[in-house]
Amino acid sequence: MNSLNEAIKYFLVIMAELSILFLGISAIIALAFMYIPRNKINRWIAGKGLWGNVMGVLFGAVTPFCACSTVPMTLGFLQAGVPFGAVMSFVVSSPLMDPLIFSLLVAFLGWKVALGFFLLTSAFAIVFGVLLEKLGWANQIKNVRVKKIGPDPDKGVPEGFKNRLHAAVFKAWGDFQSVFIYMIVGVGIGAAIYGYLPEDLLAKIAGAGHPLSVVIVALISMPLYLRVESAIPIGLALMEKGASIGAVIALIISGAGIAIPELTMLAGIFKKKIIIGLSIIVFVSAVLSGLIFNLLA
């Protein structure tokens, strides 16, 4: 009975905190992007050399995109002539970091963990974007022509701050509804782990003392498609039971970075070689990031 009470309390507290953070930050970001034209974004990312990769990562890091919006943006960048390496840096970074994710990490794991997560995922996205371009993988883009990617985000933007604020809140609410089930599942799993999973078992599998804990967790997380909204409460519960911070970071990167729906949609743009390469990149990033966190911890 005590375990049940603890699990219910964990579920209610974490769910409330996640919901408030998601709605507030999503509305702020949606409002901010109503003031930035799409053609200006294309010019920023189309920078030459390493600068383009950096801008691709930064744009991926400040935009709360899901797979349904990341993929059309990727195709739009390619059609606009943005360098292949910069586009790939965007593709790698987009599902792993945005202001919402950063805020959730700060709230639940602390600002040091959030900053370290941001720096590591950004560095890996830049490195792998440069590497894929140097390898000549730009020839792995399919010859796709799409007449209409979707509605032009620069058209139909409301006039005036109040109208834009209303639209931003409405968009945040719609986004919240689309991820609500993932939050319920993630927090529910986290609550069950928090209330019932034996600490000694988890410490043996995912604790800092296990030499392969980060690799094991990254492998298990790959096929699960854990949205970050789900992965963070699960990781928080795992840490309460003795899992290492490195294992939790590997869980978040591997689970959120290899999204089956996104890979399926990207397969319409890229050939199989890039799809396999992206999966390997995210797995390597998860393992190396987890090992670095454990060393620093």
Assign 200 a pLDDT band (cuts: 50, 70, 90): low
Query: Which one has a higher pLDDT value, 114 or 49?
Result: 114
Q: How far apart are the first and last CA of the chain?
A: 35
Average pLDDT (156-182) is 79
Q: How do residues 235-288 score in pLDDT, each as one tens digit?
A: 887 787 778 888 889 888 887 777 666 677 677 788 889 989 988 998 999 999
Q: How do residues 46-99 score in pLDDT, each as one tens digit?
A: 666 788 888 888 887 776 555 555 666 777 777 777 888 988 998 888 878 777
Assign 125 a pLDDT band (cuts: 50, 70, 90): very high
In percent, the amount of the chain with pLDDT more than 70 equals 72
Give pLDDT, residue 130.
Answer: 92
Domain boundaries, the chain: 2-296
Q: Is the pLDDT of residue 123 over 90?
A: yes
Count, residues in the chain: 297
Predicted TM-score of the model (pTM): 0.70
